[in-house]
Amino acid sequence: MITFDRDPDSYKHWTVEITNDKATLYLDVSEKDGIRPGYDLKLNSYDLGVDIELNDIVQRIRFEQPQVKVVVITSKQEKNFSAGANIYMLGMSEHTWKVNFCKFTNETRNSFEDSSNSGSIKFIAAVNGICAGGGYEIALACDEILLIDDRSSTVSLPEVPLLGVLPGTGGVTRLIDKRNVRKDLADIFCTNADGIRGKKAVEWKLVDYIAPPSRFDNLIEERVIEVSNSVKLRNGTNGVKLHKLNRIISDEGINYESVLSKIDKERRIANIHIIGPGDNNLITPNEAEKLGCEWWPLKFARELEDLILLLRTNELEVGVFTITSEGDTDNILNVTNILENNKNNWFINETIGFLRRTLSRLDLSSRSIFTIIDNKSCFSGILAELLFCADRTYMLNNSLAADTIKGPYISLSDLNFASLEMVNGLTRLATRFNNNKPKLNTLRKLINKKMNAEKAYNEELITVIPDDLDWKEEIRLSLEERTSFSPDALTGLEANLRFPGKETCETKIFGRLSAWQNWIFNRPNAVSEEGALKLFGTGTRAKFDNKRV
């Protein structure tokens, strides 16, 4: 089983140095330590294991080093920043592995930009050698790119001429949308395997600054000082240690303290059950910081993220996630209010960021999501996001039952209207109503008000509200129908329906680019025995089917 939790003592590919408000990450990939056997990670090329470490390092800096304002990413290898994703790994991997690899690396790079945009850490790429493909894509995700001007160091995206595929981690999208590279220059750049260096790289907007070797360290320090001045919410003094997750994996499921899962492999369904916070979570931000990763919102985010990654990587045939919960609605609303009212606290800001990125992983997991609300549920506040990320929601209607039957209820909070945006830049509520402002203003009047099934349905927040007689049968039939459909068709359907309205750099990366890369990874020109990925490094040219389709 592939797992995603790491410990600093186990890092094989990265070295971390922290000086005052700067963290420097040195990439020095261990060639023989690929996450799977069969290939060497030469030239600082990376596989999933390298990126899992990078994700863990950045996450730890966010919480454990609150004084750090700028992360510098560079290389320990002379004349070599990174050759990008390991081609031999891609050539020997099955299609699902390649897709999940690209998805995780995209999310890691997107997380740089998410932190930068939310008042948290800024990122600088200090490119001190050859920087190709996925190596340049790491740099593109940073706020600034610095390139050593030594007449040999270049940046390039050589996937089209060398491999017959596209830059799979958002390279072409960030080139145009983020760095505003002119499209004709981008065309030359993306079809030139040799790369661009020096002054021309600056003129084409491929990098921000260059300096000769004698001044490169000074340039880095100058830019760190300048960039750190724009960081707003990195002013903590005591970090929060991210302890090892309390996780139990069995044949029946994966269980944590606040998130439980039951996997039905025969029916291809995984139930994700969330246990809401208790009274002891209703505390001040300073007390929350002392609780650290034992504070429910952070614990929940860590556990849910880990579960999502484990399920989508290791349980490929599980096509439907059902989400249920239990707990006190007042408690979850009170915890949500602590987050809402203290957004300028560094720890609260990082916790909200973690929640935002974790929920985005769920949005992008290529699984059907049904959220189910019964009498024990506590889908309010931040947990209400799980209603609006779902493809369908089912809420038990007890309106005709005896007066002794209470609930279930849902409630909205301010946080549902801001701070937990999807990759399209809109909240899940705004996305649900295609950013209909009058509708959203009407819903704002319901903040902190408990809504039963009929009220929630009338406000268009719930899909189906069966009564107790039809409850189990309605859900059973819906799940059986869902799992009978083509997984490919459902993945396409859900990706189209979940992100209506405007596009962002991220939606293009996960929608347009990922869809094209998905298709190209299946084409003989890339992956047949005579395809470019298979023949890379053999000295034999690929044989292409030259029909344009």
Per-residue pLDDT band for 192 (boundaries 50, 70, 90) equals very high
Radius of gyration, alpha carbons of the chain: 24
Averaged pLDDT of the chain:
94
pLDDT, position 515? 82
pLDDT, position 548? 82
Are residues 181 and 288 located together in one domain of the fold? no
Are residues 508 and 479 located together in one domain of the fold? no
How far is 302 from 256, CA to CA, in rounded Å? 10
**Closest C-alpha to 484, from 368, 358, 339:** 368
pLDDT, position 348? 96
Average pLDDT over every residue of 116-145: 97
Are residues 482 and 516 located together in one domain of the fold? no
241 domain residue, yes or no: no
Query: What tokens were used for 93?
Result: 């991997």
Q: Edge to edge, what strands does the sheet with 209-211 contain? A: 14-19, 22-27, 70-75, 122-127, 144-148, 209-211
Query: What tokens were used for 8?
Result: 């600093």
For the ranges 162-176, 200-214, 327-341, which has the lowest average pLDDT? Answer: 162-176
Average pLDDT over every residue of 393-421: 86
| Beta strand spans in 69-226 (E) | 70-75, 79-82, 84-85, 122-127, 129-132, 144-148, 155-156, 209-211
Are residues 419 and 319 located together in one domain of the fold? yes
Average pLDDT over every residue of 34-48: 95
What does each C-alpha distance from 180 to 140, 168, 205, 362, 514 come to in angstroms?
A: 12, 19, 7, 30, 21
Are residues 490 and 503 located together in one domain of the fold? no
Whether residue 404 is predicted with pLDDT greater than 70 in this model: the reply is: no
Task: Let me know: does 67 contact 21? Beta carbons within 8 Å.
Answer: yes
pLDDT, position 500? 85
Query: What tokens were used for 241?
Result: 């240690």
Are residues 283 and 428 located together in one domain of the fold? yes
pLDDT, position 229? 96
38 domain residue, yes or no: yes
Q: Is the peptide bond before 408 cis (omega within 30 degrees of 0)?
A: yes
Task: Let me know: does 437 contact 493? Beta carbons within 8 Å.
Answer: no
Are residues 287 and 425 located together in one domain of the fold? yes
Torsion of the alpha carbons at 431, 232, 301 and 105, rounded to the nearest 10: 80
> Phi, psi at residue 548, to the nearest 5°?
-90, 120
Are residues 92 and 143 located together in one domain of the fold? yes
For residue 14, give its domain range.
Answer: 8-228
How far is 528 from 506, CA to CA, in rounded Å? 30
For the chain, percent of residues with pLDDT exceeding 90: 83
Are residues 204 and 268 located together in one domain of the fold? no
CA angle 393, 394, 397 (to 5 degrees): 140
Whether residue 87 is predicted with pLDDT greater than 80 in this model: the reply is: yes
How far is 458 from 429, CA to CA, in rounded Å? 15
Whether residue 263 is predicted with pLDDT greater than 60 in this model: the reply is: yes
242 domain residue, yes or no: no
pLDDT tens digits along 422-432: 999 999 999 99
Are residues 510 and 489 located together in one domain of the fold? no
Are residues 273 and 215 located together in one domain of the fold? no
Output the domain CATH number for residue 143.
Answer: 3.90.226.10
Average pLDDT over every residue of 154-178: 93
How far is 293 from 417, CA to CA, in rounded Å? 25
- CB under 8 Å to 154, separation ≥6 — which residues? 130, 131, 132, 194, 195, 196, 197, 201
Question: How many independent structural domains does the chain possess?
Answer: 3
Task: Let me know: does 33 contact 73? Beta carbons within 8 Å.
Answer: no
Per-residue pLDDT band for 44 (boundaries 50, 70, 90) equals very high
How far is 432 from 3, CA to CA, in rounded Å? 33
